[in-house]
Amino acid sequence: MMLEISFYQRTIIPLKTLCLVTIFPALIAFFIIKKHYNRTYQLKGFFFPLMQSLLSFGFIACYSFMALNYYLADTNFEVKSCKILNKHTIGTKQQQPAIEVDYNGTEKQLVFYVGQQAQIDSSNYVMLTIRKGFLGYDIFSDITLK
């Protein structure tokens, strides 16, 4: 799941698509393993087999989808400029600076290191080096504050 989060931060993929890619394989696996799971662990109900299916098969399918898009991406790069919509911090213990940009009608949050806070405060635009993913979703290769 941690690898999926790093892919998601660098890719423009709608959350709805990722939910569908996660839920459908999980439901298929649930119906296949439910009876065997309940017999093996002597449990009644559907909660544990459903969670097992979601957390294993669903997230494996989601990771495979995102990795396929990321690792087999096109090698041609394109640079786009985007206006910074919002500047804020995320996290509770170690707050990291983040910005929100409008990329082709989709709001995307970009997270930076703590040492880049001064650059973020003085920037109004961000230059994104983008390449097209294998499945058609754009990937951020480089992010430069302007």
Does this model's pTM top 0.75? My answer is yes
Secondary structure (3-state) at 52:
helix
* Domain span at 63: 2-71
Lookup result for tokens 């690898």: 3
**65: pLDDT strictly greater than 90:** yes
Same domain for 93 and 141? yes
If you ran DSSP here, which 8-state letter would residue 74 be given? -
Nearest to 85 by CA among 64, 109, 56, 104: 109
Task: Tell me what pLDDT residue 36 has.
Answer: 84
For 9-48, write each residue's pLDDT tens digit: 889 998 899 999 999 999 999 999 888 887 788 878 888 8
**Which among 49, 71, 93 is the end of a domain?**
71
The CATH code of the domain that includes 136 is 2.40.50
Instruction: Please tell me the total count of domains within the chain.
Output: 2
For 83-107, write each residue's pLDDT tens digit: 999 999 998 888 899 999 998 888 8
Task: Tell me what pLDDT residue 38 has.
Answer: 76
Task: Tell me what pLDDT residue 139 has.
Answer: 94
